[in-house]
Structure 1
Amino acid sequence: MRRSLLPCAVLLLLTACHSETAMNQEIATAEQDVEQGGRGLAKLNPAPRQAYEFVLKIDDAPGPFTVVNGTAQYDVVNEQECGRIVQATGRAGRITSQEPVELKKISDTEYQGTVYLDRMLDEDYYDRGVCQWKFSGAGATLKATGAEGETRFVSFIDADRFVKGERETQHYADLGYPRDEMDNYADYGKDAPEGFKPELRDALFSVTLTGKEARS
């Protein structure tokens, strides 16, 4: 009886090792995908329902913006219970995803798109429990023509303000358009004109982000 059980035990051990190796390879591939801007193991909800209008308005810009990209950020809120344990720290790593939002040009100064609060799919990724996603906020990146080296004007509105329909306005100095002295400079702006030197305050433009629950 013992002799007959031994091959089975070896077979089960080999199968388990193969499964663990395959999972580790899948995780490694997913992590590389995340580093390159992908979503890794994260999956999209095939039928999201919590739709919000995402509105972007530009005021007093020194010129046009050919590139206007929107994003929605989502974070797992229970990564300690469901995420992969990092051996170096013994803690689970943060799980986040930046999903593109198509912004359509409504006028020379306004763009609109749709953000789904439930865009991500809650799922068990690491056999430790179901990861629960939460919408963290929406953002936008603008470039004059999209040419290499141009300034990236970046803005973001957090989830609480977005859902409440509040506005988030960031101000930027004209002198950074279309490019700053530093190539590929990311300009996050300032909350108010007073954040700039007095000599720059008469040459500013702004980007305002707003969210509004979409009509069913």
Structure 2
Amino acid sequence: MPRLPVAAALALLFLTACSRTMDDSDIKQNPHPKQAYDITVTLRDAPGPFDSVRGEMAFEVENHECVPQDPFSGARKVPTYYPAFELRPAGDGTYRGTVYLDLLRDSDYFGLGRCRWHFTGLLASFQAYGVRFVGTMTDEDVRSGEPTTQFFAKKLFRPSDIEDFGVNGVPMSDYVRAHPDDFFSMTLIAKERRHGSSLE
């Protein structure tokens, strides 16, 4: 699957990002964002209930020249931001929420010109026994309206020796296909919200 490296990198960004070139409080949000996408996450054959559910969006400044260079290395620490969005249970292993691709307001944060925020993707994180099962969608996945399905080994649904252990979903493979009872699935799909419509 060509999306796997991108999805894996996106999940890694979510799970490890900690540095910022600005405080989160400095980031401005649009008061009336319009680019809404309703997200549906469906779990199949999960071996038990989850302790918590969390959705996160990913944004990055796309025009790096608006960010100052480090005086020693010359590198630019490009701002990123990961706001949460609610995933609400909708019955039968389904959760729903809404993301806004234009949630953040472009602004001149550093006196070097307007920084343009770009939505890069989202994740859905389901936690049980300290283990987080993380499904991802890239910007392209969200805009396409096509579902993405990722698989998780059921044997990981147990207490872990590692605190806050994250597990990224994998695509369908010959092994998953040959051992369907050993895995549960997470399917994510996005639907653009037209003017006047709302999430059911």
What TM-score, normalized to structure 2? 0.80
State how many pairs are aligned.
176
| Contact 1:39/1:98, CA 8 A, preserved across alignment | no
SS across alignment from 1:141: strand
Q: CA RMSD in A?
A: 2.1
Task: Give the alignment of 1:82-101 within 5 angstroms.
Answer: 82-101=66-85
Shift in CA distance, 34/43, structure 1 to aligned 2, threshold 3 Å? farther
Conserved 8 A contact 2:39-2:191: yes
Given the superposition, is the C-alpha separation of residues 181 and 189 from structure 1 closer, same or farther in structure 2, using an over 3 Å criterion?
farther
Correspondence for 1:56: 41
4+ aligned runs moved over 6 Å, structure 1: none
Which consecutive residues of structure 2, in runs of 5 or more, have no partner in the other structure? 1-17, 196-200
Paired-residue identity, %:
33
TM-score by length of 1: 0.75
Shift of 1:125: 0.6
Indicate whether 1:208 and 2:187 are aligned. Answer: yes
**Selected match of 2:102 from 104, 110, 118:** 118
Q: Which has the higher contact order (CA 8 A, sep 6+)?
A: 2
Q: List gaps (5 residues or longer) in structure 1.
A: 1-32
Alpha carbons of structure 1 residues 201 and 195: separation in structure 2 relative to 1, 3 Å = same
Task: Give the corresponding residue for 2:30.
Answer: 45
Counterpart check, 1:135 vs 2:119: yes
Do the aligned residues in 2 keep the contact of 1:34 with 1:40 (CA within 8 Å)?
no
8 Å CA contact retained: 2:176, 2:183: no
Structure with larger Rg: 1
Pick the structure with more helix per residue. 1
Whole-angstrom CA distance in 1 between matches of 2:72 and 2:174: 44
